[in-house]
Amino acid sequence: MSREAIINAKQEEVNALSQRMKDAKAVVVAEYRGLTVQKTEELRRALRKEGCELIVAKNNIAKRAATLCGFGAIDNDMTGPNGVVIGKKDSVAAAKILHEFAKKNPKLIVKSGVIEGAFYNAAQIKAVSALPSKQVLLAMLASQLYAPLKELAVGLDMISTQKSN
């Protein structure tokens, strides 16, 4: 394989990874050093269930892809054996799964990520993982919006029953 063919192949890898990152709602970098193949596969299965995927790429390729799609802030954490977790459906699913898995497997280290276009460091990713899902948050909001109307209806009903007695 010629040098030019190798460069073109690597550029194709960068472009493909960059496109996946652009289409994602969340991109999280995690170090998997010390995890067995079995544990890594277990993590991959858990991620797949929630619409996420773990991509293991060379750091140089991952850095270039991140820079290409505007996620250059995660470049500093691309040292050592890293996996790039891409969340396609839910913004916080990747962070939740990684932190749940890291509780049982302390060798997995969540480094940083980009969620909905904003950079988050490891502590912030951990905080995001503690948030309820989007559906739960929407349900909580709806109940808070509904509560005053319910109280008003109960109060009006009490007034009408008092006047009729």
Q: Average pLDDT for residues 17-42, to the nearest whole number?
A: 91
Strand order in the sheet with 26-31: 52-55, 82-87, 26-31, 109-115, 118-121
Q: Average pLDDT for residues 15-34, to the nearest whole number?
A: 90
- Residue 86 in this model has a pLDDT that exceeds 90: yes
The residues, any chain, with a CB within 8 Å of residue 55's CB and separated by 6 or more, are 17, 20, 83, 84, 85, 86
Give the pair of three-digit tokens for residue 146: 């509904």
pLDDT of residue 101: 93
Q: Average pLDDT for residues 30-55, to the nearest whole number?
A: 91
The residues, any chain, with a CB within 8 Å of residue 81's CB and separated by 6 or more, are 31, 32, 33, 56
d(CA 94, CA 135): 16
Count, residues in the chain:
165
- Find the farthest-apart pair of alpha carbons in the chain and give their distance in angstroms, rounded: 95
Q: How much of the chain, in percent, has pLDDT values that exceed 70?
A: 99
Q: Average pLDDT for residues 99-118, to the nearest whole number?
A: 90
Q: How confident is the model at residue 165 (pLDDT cuts 50, 70, 90)?
A: low
- 76 vs 27, higher pLDDT: 27
Q: How confident is the model at residue 23 (pLDDT cuts 50, 70, 90)?
A: confident
Q: What angle do CA 130, 48, 112 make, to 5 degrees?
A: 45
pTM, whole model, 2 decimals? 0.76
pLDDT in tens, 51-67: 899 999 898 999 999 88
pLDDT in tens, 119-132: 999 899 998 888 87
- Residue 161 in this model has a pLDDT that exceeds 90: no
pLDDT of residue 42: 93
